[in-house]
Amino acid sequence: MAKVLIIGAGGVGGVVVHKCAQVPEVFSEITLASRTLSRCEKIRDEVRELQGREIQIRQIDADDVAATVALLKELKPDLLINVALPYQDLPLMDACLEAGVDYLDTANYEPPDEARFEYKWQWAYQERYESAGLMALLGSGFDPGVTNVFCAYAQKHLFDEIHTIDILDCNAGDHGHPFATNFNPEINIREITQRGRYWEQGEWKETDPLSEVMEFDFPEVGPRKAYLLYHEELESLVQNIRGLKRIRFWMTFGEAYLTHLRVLENVGMTSIEPVDYDGHPVVPIKLLKKLLPDPASLGANYKGKTSIGCLIEGIKDGEKKRVFIYNVCDHAETYREVRAQAVSYTTGVPAVVGAMMMLTGAWRGKGVFNIEQLDPDPFLEKLGEMGLPWHVKVC
């Protein structure tokens, strides 16, 4: 029986609250806090209707460390689940340290004025968490998150040596809008428009944005074009998977999405540099976020599936081996269950499973952990039960 404080009432936050509410034997008290109280109210009412549970809600500015410390000291949760934005990671880690509360998130810290996805800022908390006897679990979403756990599982059970990993992320869903992003538009567009990067033979190699393409036959979806991107889990996986020779990350995009993105980039709408508009500084990508559909609103009419997994090659018992470990998730089904599309669902469910691991003692430790550093077995045992069945295909 544990008390949990969830921060962030967006698409992912909603899923986390619903799924925690489904497991009262672990999450006995749930509080949702976010910047805009009305979004918490909406989730509270849906959880009451669909899950038959009452949750508490609060308003909080998670950039304000003192306010978060006060809230933590008042509520005394066993764990803070951060599903606000990556900008809030460090203030929330500071607040947890000061109040003596364990921490979990799904995305690594990103400075607001620089599009850089790096773990160094959060890894710098290692000693402070360790000496405070606290645990911080980083990247417990799908990618990063489940994909890292798939790699840890492959290392533990399927291979003697892992040589290459390709993480392949396909959303073959259709939300009916000409252009929308499936999670926070600002973070999503910053991630896609940066230069591509992968790791090979001990070195990082850079590519022009979206310049490397391959076709892959995704389970339950079919062949799709996937583009090489830099994604944050590569940074921790190169450290935690032994003997790795190459690791890359690929994501599928349709032609219409790429055309919109190209136009928006060409006219300067994806820039994070402020421009002056009649004496007011305006950050173009923040204005764009205001204009685009709210990711949390996409669920109602979303059709189709996500198909995401890790293609892993290496050696087992002296023989070459190649497997694809994956999950397929259906947008319409997740909407029926928790009023959310599959991208929010595939992020929110692993956050809840990670929280269950920490709160039940299956995962314990002092310090800052990337998810693949912990035993994959209890996590994967719960993942299917909680709504994300996974499969291993030898190919």
In contact, 228 and 250? CB cutoff 8 Å: yes
Nearest one of 83, 87, 90, 81 to 121, comparing CA atoms: 90
Nearer to ligand NDP, 39 or 197 (CB): 39
Strands 213-218 and 222-229: antiparallel
Nearer to ligand NDP, 85 or 95 (CB): 85
* Residue nearest to ligand NDP according to CB distances in the complex: 10
Nearest one of 100, 17, 92, 104 to 62, comparing CA atoms: 92
Nearest one of 55, 52, 35 to 43, comparing CA atoms: 55
Q: Nearest 5°: CA angle at 268, between 266 and 272? A: 135
Residues pairing with 322 in the sheet: 313
Q: What are the structure tokens assigned to 309, written together?
A: 């997994």
User: From the CB of 311, what's the least distance to ligand NDP, in Å?
Assistant: 18
Nearer to ligand NDP, 132 or 180 (CB): 180
User: From the CB of 98, what's the least distance to ligand NDP, in Å?
Assistant: 17
Backbone angles phi, psi at 33, to 5 degrees: -125, 140
Q: For binding to ligand NDP (CB under 6 A), which residues are involved?
A: 7-13, 34-36, 39, 60-63, 83-86, 88, 106-107, 141-145, 183-184, 187, 295-296, 344, 347
User: From the CB of 153, what's the least distance to ligand NDP, in Å?
Assistant: 17
User: From the CB of 395, what's the least distance to ligand NDP, in Å?
Assistant: 24
Nearer to ligand NDP, 123 or 159 (CB): 123
User: From the CB of 110, what's the least distance to ligand NDP, in Å?
Assistant: 8
CA distance 211 to 220: 26
CA distance 339 to 344: 10
Query: How many CA atoms lie within 13 Å of 378's alpha carbon, on the beta-carbon side?
Result: 15
Q: What are the structure tokens assigned to 248, written together?
A: 């890359």
User: From the CB of 34, what's the least distance to ligand NDP, in Å?
Assistant: 4
CA distance 296 to 62: 20
Q: How far is CA 256 from the centre of its chain?
A: 25
Nearer to ligand NDP, 185 or 284 (CB): 185
Q: What are the structure tokens assigned to 332, written together?
A: 């319409």
Nearer to ligand NDP, 96 or 159 (CB): 96
Nearer to ligand NDP, 142 or 250 (CB): 142
In contact, 190 and 118? CB cutoff 8 Å: no
Rg from Cα positions in the chain? 20
Angle between helices 342-360 and 11-21 (to 10 degrees): 50
**Which amino acid is located at 290 in the chain?**
K
Nearest one of 141, 144, 132 to 94, comparing CA atoms: 132
User: From the CB of 318, what's the least distance to ligand NDP, in Å?
Assistant: 36
Nearer to ligand NDP, 19 or 321 (CB): 19
User: From the CB of 393, what's the least distance to ligand NDP, in Å?
Assistant: 21
Nearer to ligand NDP, 323 or 371 (CB): 371
In contact, 47 and 55? CB cutoff 8 Å: yes
Q: What are the structure tokens assigned to 130, written together?
A: 């360790």
User: From the CB of 6, what's the least distance to ligand NDP, in Å?
Assistant: 10
Nearer to ligand NDP, 140 or 159 (CB): 140
User: From the CB of 13, what's the least distance to ligand NDP, in Å?
Assistant: 6
